[in-house]
């Protein structure tokens, strides 16, 4: 497989990146799907290697976080064969560490695609911030221009001295 080819399109991966606790993360179930393993097996490997996953790499969701995520994404409930334990989420660094824990060629290739998706998102956010900053500067310039025009329009007409020849009939 060439470097330009990817197993999974970056857009597909990027759609599975969520913002939780101020971090961009991916769910264990989404990663398991991408890596081609069961979520249960992925989590078993994480638990066997917890020393490789500090909290900035991976953490387990609280019930409130999970309920909020489920309501946003309409994931299955535990009463209908869905999850019975709270999911783990993995940051960009955590997803990279997963490839070393799973030790498969597919995991390595998918990790490369995942990292590219995180980088792409970072670049898009930086571009949007730059555009937003430029728009804000433009708006300030327009506001300043309006203030100058308003000042010019407020000059009273009777303060002006007449121009030209004035005929005095005395």
Q: Does the pLDDT at position 169 exceed 80?
A: no
- Give CATH for domain 10-124: 3.10.260
pLDDT of residue 86: 92
CA distance 91 to 73: 19
Q: Please compute the mean of the pLDDT values over residues 19-33 and round it to a whole number.
A: 91
| Domain locations along the chain | 10-124, 129-154
Assigned token pair, 49: 């290697």
Between 126 and 73, the more confident residue is 126
| Most confident among 9-13, 20-24, 69-73 (mean pLDDT) | 20-24
Lowest model confidence (mean pLDDT) among 66-80, 86-100, 113-127, 140-154:
66-80
What per-residue confidence (pLDDT) applies to 59?
Answer: 94
Answer for the pair 13, 111: CB distance below 8 angstroms, yes or no.
no
- Mean pLDDT value across residues 115-143: 80
Distance CA 82, CA 88 (A): 15
Phi (first) and psi of residue 90, to 5 degrees: -130, 135
Task: Tell me which range, 22-31, 77-86, 122-131, is most confidently predicted by mean pLDDT.
Answer: 22-31
Name the more confident of 46 and 125: 46
Of 149 and 47, more confident:
47
Query: Residue 77: which residues within 8 A CB-CB, separation 6 or more?
Result: 70
Q: What are the structure tokens assigned to 111, written together?
A: 């990790």
pTM: 0.62
């Amino acid at each position: 497989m060439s470097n330009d080819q990817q197993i999974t399109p970056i857009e597909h991966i990027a759609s599975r990146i969520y913002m939780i606790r101020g971090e961009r993360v991916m769910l264990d179930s989404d990663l398991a799907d991408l890596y081609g393993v069961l979520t249960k097996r992925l989590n078993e490997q994480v638990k066997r290697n917890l020393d490789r996953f500090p909290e900035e790499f991976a953490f387990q969701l609280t019930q409130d976080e999970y309920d909020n995520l489920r309501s946003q994404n309409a994931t299955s409930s535990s009463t209908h064969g869905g999850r019975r334990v709270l999911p783990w989420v993995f940051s960009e660094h955590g997803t990279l560490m997963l490839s070393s824990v799973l030790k498969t060629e597919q995991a390595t290739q998918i990790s490369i695609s995942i990292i590219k998706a995180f980088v792409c998102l970072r670049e898009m956010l930086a571009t949007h911030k730059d555009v937003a900053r430029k728009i804000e500067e433009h708006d300030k310039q327009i506001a300043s221009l309006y203030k100058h025009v308003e000042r010019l329009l407020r000059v009273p007409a009777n303060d002006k001295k007449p121009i030209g020849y004035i005929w005095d009939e005395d």
